Structure formats: C-alpha cells, structure tokens
Structure 1
Amino acid sequence: MSIDPFPPGKSDTDSLSVENGILRGRDGWLFLWDGSNDVSRYYTDPGYFGAPELAGWVTLLRARAARCAQIGAQYRHLVVPDKISVYPQHLTAPLRYFDQHPGARFARAFPDDTLCVDILPDLRGTRGNFAARVEPGGGEAEGSDKFFFKTDSHWTFEGCQVAYLRLCESLGVTPCDLSKARPGPGKEMVLDLGAKLSPPVLEHARFGRVLRHSKRQAENEMVRYNESEGLAKGTPRFVGCMVHNHNDQPQAIAKRVVLFGDSFCEFRPHLLTAMLSETFRDVHFVWSTSLDWDFIAALKPDIVITEIAERFVNRLPKDDFRVSPD
C-alpha cells in the first residue's frame, strides 16, 4: 500500500499533533509515534529496519525452526502489527516508506511459509471475509476497525481472535468455541495511550474473560507480585513472567505448547495465552522475546510459538533467556 506524503511545501513534521510521544490521528485514534520505540521511523526512515536487520531475523527464525524440529516440535512465529500498519487511514502523518515497515518485510521474506504467520491482511480486511469468523465482542466498531482500541496500543478481544484463528489454521488444529468468552458491557477507562495525554483520554473498553476450562497450575514469583500489588500500584514487572495452564477437558487437544511473547499474549485470562489454553492440554507462557532452550528441552513441547510486537523487532533476540519457574 502506498501512502501519499503531505502536499509539497510542507515538511514531514508540519501539522502533526504529537504529545508525549503520542500522535493524534483522525476521529479520536491515537498512535505511538516517537519515544523509546521510535515507531514512526519504521515508516519514515528506510534504513531503520533494512535488509541487514531482516536478514538477521530470517536466519534466527530458520535456526529456531530447525532446532524445534530436532526435538519433534512445530515452530511458529507471529509479528503483531503496529496500529500504524493496520490503520494508516486514520493518521494525519506522512508515511513515506509505509511499504517497508517490518510486518510487510517479514511477509515478503516468508511467502506462503507457515513458519511466520502473517495476520496483517486479516486485520486490514484485505484477505477475504476473515472478520466474519470472529466472535463479536459487542463493541460499537464495525469491520476491521474493531481489532484495536482507539486509545491503546493493544488489540481488542476480536483482534486477538484474528491471530488465534490464523495460528490454529497454520497448525492444522480446530479452534475452540469462544462465544461464551465475549466481552461484557465494559466501562469508560483510561488506556495506555490515552493515559499519556493531558488531560487523559477515556475510551469505553470491553474485555472478555477467556479462561473457562483451562486452569492455572503454576506461576512464578513475578506473576504473583504483579497480581498482588504490582498492577494495582502501577509498578508491574513483565519480562520474565511465567504461567502454566492445564486443560483437562476431553475436547482439549492433547498437545503441549510453549509460548514466548509479550503484552499481546499476557499471563492474565483475556488474550492469546488464554485462547491457546482453552484449545490445548497444556500451555506454558513466558513473557520474553528471547527463548530459553533449556526450559523448552525440559518440557518437550509439541509446539513452540514466539510472538513479538512489530515495534520491538529492531532488537534481534539472542535466545539466551533464563526462565525463573518459582
């Protein structure tokens, strides 16, 4: 997709409404723009994530897949597109190199390859009527606009389902029925992007509680800290969180999944970790972009999945992480 720059005579920064790293788009849409992640550079600086960075990822993912195959495990990698990649039509900013953003580069590097699961066409509504397969969450948005919150950097219940359904298809498994997990009425709240503005911007948000049959069997100290005080005090610690969910229902697929990911997966009961836990017998989630191969070897999983938000891909994982199980 080509995005036209601002008219001649205007600079790339003219007319942009950026506050505390947040770009105000059209119709109340907010986007991460600069700050520690330099998100805008993926779309405006062709050298920020170029051929060398992509080559590093291709080598890494191929090596991961080969190592997983040695232990009899399937491997899948998922890049969660940034909101800018999904909703460029809601921006007021010029995106001179939109076609070079990492998600597009990954898709071109792995054409028709199940190793790297491409969900951007589904989120953008450009690959058939995929949205019709997503359980409605009761939100006001229609079509592809329902897949991310306007004032948050994260996807909604419906957006997460898109990734879940595509992962299931890639793995050749039947997705579970999530109709009873649909979000309730929700409430007005301040989400992560809206919280960075002054005054804060509120949004009516709904969250579904996915975990019904699967039960948590274990969590480490970091998760216990977050749930007892870290989240409430606004001092959470995320990287290194680990949970193990077990599903003893007869319809659960008798396979063990190890999932390494970030806030789009979560240890709480409402996103991708939970959806996979309702599907498979055992799911072990670790909040990390790097793998712990000793942890994987000890569990002997049938499936290994890695997930990373697009804005983080400029830091190539070293796969030297060590999970603290307690």
Structure 2
Amino acid sequence: MFAKRWDTVHVGRDGWLFLTGGSNRVMDQYGRGPRRWWRLRAWARLIEARAVRAARLGIRSVHLIVPEKLSVYDNLTADLPYDPARAATRILARRLLRQPAYLDLLQPFRAARDGAPLYLRTDTHWSVEGCLLAYRELMRALGAVPPADIATRPRFEAERLMDLGEKLPGRPRERVSHLVIQRAAERVHAGPLVAAYEAEGRASELHTGAHVIYRNAVPGIDGRRLVLFGDSYAHFTPIMLTGLLAESFAEVHFVWSSSLDWGYIERVRPDLLVFELAERFLARLPRDDYDVAAARPDLESA
C-alpha cells in the first residue's frame, strides 16, 4: 500500500482531473500487498458464486466494473506515480477470463481512449460516448441487439460544475453533452425513497436505495425482464445505463445498491441480472444482504 495520503483531485494534462484520494483512497488501490490480493480474490469468488446462484434460478447474469479514469487515461495524468497495470479491473479480468458472467470493460475502453473522450474532463463519470460503449459491450454479452437509432437520439449541451471541478479552488466548469435517451420506455414504479425525494425536489441528492421499474411496449422490443443493481453510472433517472437498457428491454428494474437482494431477485424472476459498480468501490466487499423493501425515507428529516 502507498504510505502517502494523496490529494483528493489530481490535475493532469489539458485540464483533465482525476480522483486520487477520497473515502475510497483511490491511489492506494493501485498498490500491492496481501490485503488487496485477498480482497480481489474475494471479489472474484463472489462474482462466481453470484453467477452460479443466478444460473440455478434460470437467470443469465453479467457483472461489469466501470474502470477508473486512472485505469484508462494514464497517458493524461502528467506523470502521476502509479502503475495502471495494477488496476483492479485488469486483475479481475485475468482472474475471471473464462467466466462469462464477468464483462471486461477495461480492454475496450483503453482501445477506444484516443477517440472521442470516454469520461468527462472534470468529473469521475463517463461521457455519453463512454456510456454508449459500455452499453454496447453489455448488450453483446446479454445476446441482445441495441435499437438502431439509440446513439443518434437528440443531444443537448450545458456548461456545468462537475464533481471533480467543484473540489478545486478555481471550480473549473465544463461543457457537457447529454443524450436524450427516453422515447418508448415508461417508468411504472418509483420506490418510496424516489417518490419522497422527487416530491421535495431533492432527487439529485438521492443515491443508495433508489428503486424504479421501467416498462417498454414498443413493437419488436426484446421481451426479456432485466434487473440491474448499480450506482450513479447507471442511475435511476433515464440518463445513463438504466435509460439505455429501458429502451432495449420490455421491463427493467433498477436498484441503487452494491449488495444484492436475492429475495427480490427470486420474487421478480428476471431473465437477466446485471451488476454494475465503479472500480473504486471494489474497496469494500458487499454482503448481499440488501433489502429493497426496507429502503424507506426518514420522514422526520426527508
């Protein structure tokens, strides 16, 4: 492990910002040591065990870990002292090479990094192009075909202060492109947390516990039901991966959680189970004891 306590944000070339510290101590995740080795081994075993359990229920499962910008754009970090070959996504891809339930996004992201930017310059999240690339790779892994027009839907741009930019003294802003994804999919259920936060105009503050269901009755839609456990790279609003999947399948359930709720999965009985997580969150191993039904707002503080 690195002994140094890294700054939260590193300024790279051409104004590119990288998360290096924070609660997940991102730079430490590129280090060595037995604790890191055991944690990634535990993750590999968890993914394998989840795949077996899903298969017993007749469910096809796919895990995708969203690579950190550090893992993809080491060429833009301005000599930051770390080894991108130590990325957790690279190590998991080697460990799970023959496991069809693990989708390696690092290789296609690094192969495409010299084209359109796959991440926002001043944010930890992927750009429209990065999200679309991950979506296409996931659809291939699920044996599904994207709608022909999905990448050409309308876009709009806005200048915004993003999550890494707001941590710097100068608070640099960025012109961000957004894809207007939703066309045929309809949200048919919002969990209590989503309903409460939206009612108070605080939806942007909601994270873990968000639960929504989308249905899509457009002619020719892939008729399978999909359950997605993910984070902000998927999101409960139809602006990222969840939105793309809702336009691609007859029914999509999204739960914002790194821990699975097997009781919920068994009740819904989806055809497809997808797990998405940002690479930095591999710092903690989930217990898979999440309870979707228990995620309710604190009415006194909400």
TM-score scaled by structure 2?
0.91
Match of 1:54 in 2: 40
Counterpart pick for 1:261 among 211, 230, 237: 230
Q: Residue 99 of structure 1: CA displacement?
A: 1.4
In 1, distance between residues paired with 2:275 and 2:256? 10
Q: Distance in 2 between matches of 1:253 and 1:309?
A: 27
Residue identity in the other structure for 1:266:
H
Question: Matched residues in 2 for 1:51 and 1:182: separation?
Answer: 44
1:316 aligns with 285
2:181 paired residue number: 210
Deviation at 1:40, TM superposition (A): 0.8
Measured on the aligned residues, the alpha-carbon RMSD in Å equals: 2.2
Are 1:71 and 2:57 counterparts?
Answer: yes
Tell me the residue number matched to 1:165.
136
Matched with 1:135 is none
User: What is the alpha-carbon distance in structure 2 between the residues aligned to residue 30 and residue 317 of structure 1?
Assistant: 28
SS across alignment from 1:176? coil
Amino acid at match of 1:287: W
1:296-315 pair list within 5 angstroms: 296-315=265-284
Could you say if the C-alpha distance between residues 165 and 74 of structure 1 is closer, same or farther in structure 2, counting changes exceeding 3 Å? Answer: same
Aligned equivalents of 1:209, 1:114: Cα separation in 2: 31
Give the Cα separation in 2 of the matches to 1:118 and 1:166: 9
C-alpha distance in structure 2 between counterparts of 1:63 and 1:84, whole Å: 29
Distance 1:213 1:48, change over 3 A: farther
2:163 is the counterpart of 1:176:
no
- AA partner of residue 155 (structure 2): P
2:136 counterpart letter in structure 1: L
Distance 1:113 1:144, change over 3 A: farther
Please list the CA deviations of residues 207-246 of structure 1 after superposition, one character each: whole Å capped at 9, or x if unmatched: 11211111000011211233343547x6x13101000000
Runs (5+) with no aligned partner, structure 2: 297-302
Deviation at 1:202, TM superposition (A): 0.4
Mapped contact 1:124–1:144 kept (Cα < 8 A): no
Which residue matches 1:36? 23
Pairing 1:247–2:208 present: no
- Measured against aligned partners, the alpha-carbon deviations of 1:166-186 in whole angstroms (never above 9, x if no partner) come to 1111111111231343422x1
Provide the residue aligned with 1:192 in structure 2: 163
Matched with 1:121 is 107
Pairwise CA distance, 1:201: 0.8
Q: Distance in 2 between matches of 1:49 and 1:183?
A: 44
Aligned counterparts of 1:229 and 1:144: Cα–Cα separation in 2: 41
User: Could you tell me which amino acid in structure 1 is paired with residue 71 of structure 2?
Assistant: S
Distance 1:148 1:183 in 2: 17
Give the Cα separation in 1 of the matches to 2:185 and 2:34.
41
Cα 1:296/1:104, change in 2 over 3 Å: same
For residues 72 and 200 of structure 1, the distance between their equivalents in structure 2, rounded to whole angstroms, comes to: 49
Residues 31 and 153 in structure 1, CA contact (< 8 A), matched pair in contact too? yes
Q: Deviations over 1:242-290 (max 9, x none)?
A: 0000001122101000000000000111100111111110000000000
TM-score by length of 1: 0.84
Cα separation, partners in 2 of 1:100 and 1:94, compared to 1, 3 Å: same
Compared CA separation, residues 228 and 49, structure 1 to 2 (3 A): farther
2:3 maps to 1:22: no
Relative to structure 1, the CA distance from residue 89 to residue 228 in structure 2 (aligned partners, 3 Å threshold; closer, same or farther) is farther
**Other-structure match for 1:3:** none
**1:138-165: per-residue Cα shift (whole Å, max 9, x none)?**
xxxx944511000000001110111111
Residue in structure 1 matched with residue 97 of structure 2 by the alignment: 111
Instruction: Report the secondary structure of 2:198's partner residue.
Output: helix
Alpha carbons 2:158, 2:176 under 8 Å: kept? yes
Q: CA deviation at 1:206?
A: 1.1
Equivalent residues of 2:132, 2:151 under 8 A apart: no
Residues 29 and 36 in structure 2, CA contact (< 8 A), matched pair in contact too: no
CA separation in 2, counterparts of 1:31 and 1:40?
10
Distance 1:145 1:153 in 2: 16
Distance 1:46 1:145, change over 3 A: farther
Q: Which runs of 5+ in 1 are unaligned?
A: 1-11, 126-130, 132-141
Check conservation: 1:262, 1:307, Cα contact below 8 A.
yes
% of aligned pairs identical? 36
| Preserved contact between residue 292 and residue 321 of structure 1 (Cα < 8 Å) | yes
Kindly provide the amino acid, as one letter, of the partner of residue 59 in structure 2: A
Q: Does the C-alpha gap of structure 1 residues 246 and 118 become closer, same or farther in structure 2, counting only changes over 3 Å?
A: same
Q: Are the aligned partners of 2:70 and 2:84 in contact in 1 as well (CA < 8 Å)?
A: no
